[in-house]
Amino acid sequence: MPLRIIFMGTPEFSVPTLAALAEAGHKIVAVYTQPPRPGGRRGLDLQKSPVHQAAELLGIDVLTPVNFKDVADRQTFRDFDADVAVVVAYGLLLPEDILNGTRLGCYNGHASLLPRWRGAAPIQRAIMAGDHETGMMVMKMDKGLDTGPVALTKVVAIGNEMTAGELHDKLMLVGADLMKEAMDKLDGGDLPLTPQAEHGVIYAAKISKAETRINFSRTAAEVHNHIRGLSPFPGAWFEVEIGGKMERVKVLSSVVEKVGGETGTALFDDLTIACDNGSVRLTRLQRAGGKVLDADDFRRGTPIPAGTRLL
């Protein structure tokens, strides 16, 4: 018979899983998501999360507690009398009262091959590290950070040119199918759990503003991975003099080249920039406040000739 599920998620990444569980016939008794945040052009309007909007379209009750410190919020969770909670990029650490607040516990859809890349930014970190594969895992949550036993795994290859945005879009669909399979197995009493390995633990710390600036003194491969790992958001960037003043330029994609030179210097007029042990040719860029442009279109409006120093 269908499971009674509490769904907990916030960004676009979570929406396909919510939809898949609803379409599979499970009873979504409530959706928990982050409270509306300031947004809009001026940042004055409160914007509901993508999961909040999707739940409303499905006619599901939505709750947005800031945290679960309030006894009443924890009791409300238990009062739903759910079989299981499904968590996908919710954005809050769950206390033990919530982890144990359903009959079968909480199951998390996590975008890495645990125990590698536990934590907040597994998609970006995998690409920035030059990993050739990642995946989605469904794990039963415990009080640790992504430390619980794993139920199901789906491995996904990371192409040499794949950006974080492209990997995000692929994994969110893989994750939806995997969680649906997991809940079907759980409903049938046939969902195995395997403890995570004790070795190979790496944490995927949240991306800080300080690390988004491109360091062209790194190897060409490292710079390329840095660029694609932060594309499209928050975006890797450099500064260059344009029209007599320094301006920030975001880079969304690049290609590794073999030619070398003084690091941080444009080697040709085609936006090939020297790195340690090679160079990168910048292929999609965006000036502050401008549109994302292919390199040829960018150069027509903002030429960066050979010899220009990028900072």
Q: Does 115 count as an annotated binding residue? A: yes
C-alpha R_g of the chain = 22
Torsion of CA 252, 254, 260, 262, to 10 degrees: -10
Torsion of CA 220, 223, 226, 230, to 10 degrees: -120
Secondary structure class of 227 (helix, strand, coil): helix
Q: Does 113 count as an annotated binding residue? A: yes
Q: Does 44 count as an annotated binding residue? A: no
Task: Determine the distance from the C-alpha atom of residue 86 to the mean position of all C-alpha atoms in its chain, rounded to a whole number.
Answer: 18
Torsion of CA 15, 128, 148, 82, to 10 degrees: -10
Dihedral (CA of 34, 38, 41, 45) sign: positive
b/e burial code for range 34-46 (CB count within 10 A of at least 16 → b): beeeeeeeeeeee
Distances in Å between the alpha carbon of 259 and those of 111, 161, 238, 266, 271? 35, 19, 20, 11, 13
Dihedral (CA of 59, 14, 205, 222) sign: negative
Task: Report the distance separating Cα 224 and Cα 286, nearest Å.
Answer: 16
Task: Report the distance separating Cα 304 and Cα 115, nearest Å.
Answer: 43
Q: Does 167 count as an annotated binding residue? A: no
Are 221 and 199 in contact by the 8 Å Cβ rule? The answer is: no
Task: Name the binding residues.
Answer: 112-115
Task: Name the binding residues for (6S)-5,6,7,8-tetrahydrofolate.
Answer: 112-115
